[in-house]
Chain A
Amino acid sequence: MAEDKHTVIMLRARFADSIISAKKFRDEVTVTVGKEEIINICRFLKENLQYNLLTDVTAVDYLGKVPRFMMVYHLYSIPNKERLRIKVPVAESDLTIDSLVPIWKSANWLEREVYDLFGIIFNNHPDLRRILMPNDWVGHPLRKDYPLQGPGREPYKGRLA
């Protein structure tokens, strides 16, 4: 059960309205939260619960579902040796979310990459440019409706077709 974990209890006590769900799978705790409070929740996790290392920022495109995108943050607490996954739904109609750069500098490039490959806009990001794709690239390659072989090319039908 994820509910008896200290972090989850503390988050529920402090941000009761913003917590959408808390799950445990293969010993990994995932807390899904609303995007309005993401900055406050992360600051609370960093300052009060010692999750000092922002390991990873990424997104998943659940095309066909509502909300379409899910931001995924992986946190790690070096003093407590604990991992935590924070997920934040982002709707296709409003592709913005607050940037975490004010809390962790490591969010800078990681958020640029999410912007580049998924097209999610980060509010208050200091340098929101494409990072892996060229600046003049059109489209966001990791979206599920972006063709594997790139735009405007014959779809690959397999080696034997």
Chain B
Amino acid sequence: MTKIANKETMTLNMGPQHPSTHGVLRLIVELDGEVIQKLTPDIGYLHRGVEKLAEHRTYHQTIPLTDRLDYLSPMHNNLGYVLAVEKLLGIEAPERAQTVRVIMAELTRLKSHLLWLACHALDIGAMTVFIYCFREREKIMDVYERISGARMTTNFFRVGGLSSDVYAGFEEDVRRIVAEFPAHFDTYEGLLTKNTIWLQRTVGNGVISAEEAIDFGITGPALRGSGVDYDVRRDDPYSGYENYKFEVPLGNKCDTFDRYKVRLIEMREALKIIGQALDSLKPGPILADAPKVCYPPKDAVYNTIEGLIHHFKIASEGFPVPEGEVYQGVENPKGELGYYIVSDGSAKPYRMRIRPPSFVNLQAIEKMCKGAMIADLIAVIGSLDIVLGEIDR
């Protein structure tokens, strides 16, 4: 007599407290043996109501809230927000401020991608890469600390420019990073790109075709890994990105390995952009000539009564913003981060909407994992590069 195999599926709960879910992500997985039949993400554990809070704060007071969205790339979140407010106001940051913003944004991309590679590799079992990536990430953190005083919640950009000029020695520090990092990337690639275990875990895993990726609204490296040529920096340039030459890498096999390749090339391209930006960095003002919006220079605040009153007015009352609505998208390391701000003419936004890339990208996870083994799920989560602070807002 043959025994009939058990047809029941098993429901397994992963998270929210699980190290490889990259934050407080809960996945309810329905398994047939080790094969995933159904996958239901459950999010919202980190919801802080940032959009609601922003409606009750002046425009400047919202900047520190944006740090805490995608906490691995704070400068990008700041950048998208200040650009959106500047667009509403119709002002533009001066050239030096824009260049520093680009340098910091690209350093942030490196920082975020390094953390992604570290955790992604660790999830799949490559401990060495994790240690190496964190070592290099620390060098970017040092620049962060020196320029803004904080390692993660930087709050460095201001509407109209920067909070302060760069420190003495900034250019040398960044140039050192640009010179040293390609060798580090070679090391990571040497450890992973031809590593049999790595290839077995990533090639052909988490496949999503170009059409499906667009249908699911995926953006960023995950979209480009599927061969769709869309990069906000190039296609809808902001902050002077149209002045820099860089390649937008594309994958063609639409799998975890291609997404890995795309991000590694992106890191090298980020160094190119930083190099060009450093070459074009000239002395000049760091805040736009818009006294109603921008804080006065610190020297004036400390030494003149007019400067002090000026600072006090902006800090306490904020500044009125013309009635209207704008959308500003920026190429965050995770994908397209968008800010949609509606102003009713007062000093506080009537509505601020954050379009989080991780939130939209995470939707596709069921599509990418259905029929795969449970161990592959971990690789896919890593290759989507999600951050829960941004998903839950």
Q: Which residues of A contact B (CB under 8 A)?
A: 25-26, 28, 30, 52-56, 58, 60-61, 72, 74, 78, 81, 83, 85, 104-106, 108-110, 113, 117, 130-134, 141-142, 146, 148
Contact = CB atoms under 8 A, between A and B. Distances in A.
B182 interface: no
Contacts, number: 97
Contact of B235 (A30, A81, A85, A133): A81
A60 B215 contact: no
Contacts of B219: 53, 55
A26 B87 contact: yes
A56 B350 CA distance: 18
A72 B340 contact: yes
Given A25-B324, A52-B214, A74 B338 contact: yes
Given A60-B351, A132-B44, A28 B326 contact: yes
B56 A56 contact: no
A74 B327 contact: yes
A76 B226 CA distance: 18
Given A25-B325, A26-B324, A132-B392, A56 B340 contact: yes
Contacts of A104: 215, 217
Contact of A53 (B51, B212, B217, B393): B217
Given A56-B355, A110-B360, A132-B43, A81 B236 contact: yes
A134 B52 CA distance: 17
B360 A106 contact: yes
Chain B's interface size range is: 35 or more
A114 to B, nearest CB: 10
Given A25-B324, A55-B329, A141-B49, A106 B215 contact: yes
B327 A83 contact: yes
Contacts of A25: 324-326
The 9 closest A-B pairs by CB, nearest first: A106-B217, A132-B44, A56-B355, A58-B353, A132-B47, A60-B351, A81-B235, A105-B215, A25-B324
B324 to A, nearest CB: 5
A16 B58 CA distance: 40
A141 to B, nearest CB: 6
16 contacts: A26-B87, A28-B325, A54-B217, A55-B217, A55-B336, A56-B338, A58-B340, A60-B351, A61-B351, A85-B327, A106-B216, A106-B217, A108-B363, A132-B44, A134-B44, A148-B56
Contacts of A72: 340, 353
A78 B214 contact: yes
A109 B342 contact: no
Interface in B279-327: 324-327
A120 B358 CA distance: 23
Given A74-B338, A78-B214, 18 more contacts: A56-B327, A72-B340, A74-B327, A78-B230, A83-B236, A83-B327, A105-B212, A105-B216, A106-B215, A106-B217, A106-B363, A132-B43, A132-B392, A133-B44, A134-B44, A141-B52, A148-B52, A148-B56
Nearest to A147: B52
Contacts of B214: 52-53, 78
Given A28-B327, A54-B217, A131 B44 contact: yes
A104 B326 CA distance: 23
A55 B235 contact: no
Contacts of A132: 43-44, 47, 392-393
B375 interface: no
A117 B52 CA distance: 10
Nearest to B215: A105
Interface in B363-393: 363-364, 392-393
B76 to A, nearest CB: 17
